[in-house]
């Protein structure tokens, strides 16, 4: 059976949900109204203890760890320009280097009928006709 302390440990929204669900399952509690305060709602629930025997002490869930974005946002909210010191100029982005054009390769036909680069042929010692 729930006690007043157990019911007080729950947020008002949870208590309202419990009353609504019991109204759907077991019939309507006539004295329940939508805008009741927590104290009046607890009194009403104590009159109908049998419906709320399953309620246990509410334990507040632990807070979730802050994400990196939340930390950054909170730091930016506390930031003031006077504390930052001298301002650095923003760095210019490095321009992309133009690609080197490939040299025109002159191809020749060897006496065997194979097409070869002129430069490679000279290095290999192949006789070349111009």
Band (127; pLDDT cuts 50, 70, 90): low
Q: Which has the closest alpha carbon to 7: 65, 62, 54, 73? A: 54
Distance in angstroms (rounded) separating the CA atoms of residues 122 and 102: 20
pLDDT per residue as tens digits for the range 42-73: 999 999 988 898 999 999 888 888 788 888 88
- The CB-based long-range contact list for 39-45 (8 Å cut-off, 24+ gap) reads 41/12, 41/15, 41/16, 42/4, 42/7, 42/8, 42/15, 44/19, 45/2, 45/7, 45/15, 45/18, 45/19
pLDDT per residue as tens digits for the range 70-123: 888 888 777 666 555 556 666 777 777 777 776 666 777 766 777 777 777 777
For 24, how many CA atoms within 13 A lie in the half-sphere containing its CB?
A: 5
Domain spans of the chain, in order of start? 4-52, 103-130
Query: What is the SS3 string spanning 59-90?
Result: CCCCCCCCCHHHHHHHHHHCCCHHHCCCCCCC
pLDDT per residue as tens digits for the range 4-42: 999 999 999 999 999 989 888 888 888 888 888 999 999
């Amino acid at each position: 059976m729930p006690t007043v302390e157990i019911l007080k440990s729950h947020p008002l929204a949870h208590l309202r949900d419990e009353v609504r669900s019991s109204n759907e399952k077991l019939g309507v509690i006539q004295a329940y109204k939508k805008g009741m305060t927590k104290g009046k709602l607890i009194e009403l629930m104590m009159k109908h203890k049998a419906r709320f025997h399953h309620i246990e002490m509410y334990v507040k869930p632990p807070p979730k760890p802050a994400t990196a974005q939340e930390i950054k946002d909170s730091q930016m909210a506390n930031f003031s320009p006077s504390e930052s010191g001298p301002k650095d100029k923003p760095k210019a982005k490095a321009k992309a280097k133009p690609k080197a054009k490939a040299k025109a390769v002159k191809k020749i036909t060897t006496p065997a009928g194979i097409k070869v680069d002129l430069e490679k042929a000279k290095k290999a010692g192949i006789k070349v006709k111009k």
